[in-house]
């Protein structure tokens, strides 16, 4: 059995690469069709949404499907890309299942694109409510993010008694960080330091380095991206916990669907609560280790990419295919 994964060629969040590895572990062949591949001029035209570049990409996707004949075409962030690409996949074959992995918030204008999919897997349970509100077809399923446990795992080093937050800055994230007094390392572009114990490390970092940062720090901070999230957890929660690192997570709603708050993950609802949790995990190593180990055990039991691949195949009635 064969699955074609359609995504950008590179990025900090390698969702498609992790899921493709999960499919391969279950015996599937996989290929990746990179939306931003090709000469620099093509990539620039595609980024600008120029019709010629989109037509070229659509034609290339059709050829890939026709020649390789996958049983499943899995498109990542399908409601954010041009509908022409989804139409190309839909029109090329009547035999392939067209599947979308939805990780970002969308609007009512994406209803036509949503109707082209056999199944949309939503990483945020709140997206299902939005889909119903916008009149999308009833083809959505909640499927949370996961962790690559071969990359994200505990290290042999002593823990640095600081929090770490690897993320793009947003107004809400910066405002919360500005109120904290605990020591924290901020990784990402455009952060500004808040209180004195905070350190900013500007620029994007590769995924391998993020894994090392989680494994070296005493705890990891997580604050939702207010423009993309309704109730969902991003990959940061799963990946840091896979390193045995306790996560101090805000409470978007899906936390309790994936972890046991207070035992496997630490949940806060205000900057004051967050500061209190910071002080405890940084001063009580046994407590921090206990939360991190319980969270890692849950990830290994339920939240790896092999688990997600199995869930997708079970939903599509392809288990054992």
Residues 8-62 pLDDT 10s? 765 445 899 999 999 999 999 999 998 876 555 555 655 665 677 788 889 999 9
102-127: per-residue pLDDT in tens?
A: 999 999 999 999 999 999 999 999 99
Q: Are residues 212 and 309 in the same domain?
A: no
Q: Are residues 280 and 169 in the same domain?
A: yes
Give the structural domain span for 296: 160-302
Given a contact cutoff of 8 angstroms between Cβ atoms, the answer to whether 145 and 296 are in contact is no
In sequence order, the β-bridge partners of residue 160 are 217
Whole-model pTM above 0.75?
Answer: yes
**How many domains, the chain?**
2
Nearest to 147 by CA among 303, 311, 306, 34: 303
Rounded Cα distance, 317 and 321, in Å: 9
CB count in 10 Å sphere of residue 188: 18
Q: Are residues 95 and 120 in the same domain?
A: yes
- In this prediction, residue 45 carries a pLDDT of 58
Q: Are residues 28 and 134 in the same domain?
A: yes
Four-point Cα dihedral 167, 170, 173, 176, nearest 10? 150
Q: Are residues 120 and 235 in the same domain?
A: no
Rounded Cα distance, 200 and 292, in Å: 24
């Amino acid at each position: 059995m064969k699955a074609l994964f359609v995504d950008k060629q590179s990025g900090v969040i390698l969702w498609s690469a992790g899921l493709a590895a999960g499919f391969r572990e279950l015996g599937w062949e996989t290929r990746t069709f990179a939306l931003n591949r090709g000469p620099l001029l093509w990539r620039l035209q595609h980024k600008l949404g120029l019709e010629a570049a989109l037509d070229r990409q659509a034609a290339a996707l059709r050829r890939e499907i026709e020649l390789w004949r996958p049983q499943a075409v899995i498109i990542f962030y399908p409601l954010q890309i041009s509908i022409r690409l989804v139409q190309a996949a839909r029109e090329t074959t009547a035999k392939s299942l067209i599947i979308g992995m939805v990780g970002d918030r969308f609007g009512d204008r994406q209803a036509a694109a949503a109707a082209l999919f056999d199944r949309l897997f939503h990483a945020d349970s709140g997206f299902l409510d939005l889909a119903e509100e916008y009149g999308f077809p009833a083809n959505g399923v909640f499927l949370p993010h996961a962790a690559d446990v071969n990359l994200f795992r505990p290290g042999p080093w002593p823990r640095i008694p600081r929090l770490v937050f690897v993320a793009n800055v947003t107004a809400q994230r910066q405002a919360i960080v500005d109120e904290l007094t605990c020591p924290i390392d901020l990784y990402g572009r455009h952060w500004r330091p808040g209180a004195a114990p905070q350190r900013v490390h500007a620029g994007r970092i590769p995924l391998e380095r993020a894994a090392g940062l989680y494994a070296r720090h005493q705890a990891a901070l997580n604050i939702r991206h207010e423009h993309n999230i309704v109730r969902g957890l991003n990959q940061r929660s799963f990946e840091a916990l896979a390193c045995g690192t306790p996560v101090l997570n805000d409470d978007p709603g899906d936390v309790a669907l994936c972890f046991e708050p207070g035992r496997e993950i630490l949940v806060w609802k205000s900057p004051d609560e967050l500061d209190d949790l910071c002080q405890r995990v940084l001063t009580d190593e046994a407590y921090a280790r206990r939360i991190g180990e319980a969270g890692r055990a849950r990830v290994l039991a339920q939240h790896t990419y092999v688990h997600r691949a199995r869930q997708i195949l079970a939903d599509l009635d392809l288990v054992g295919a």
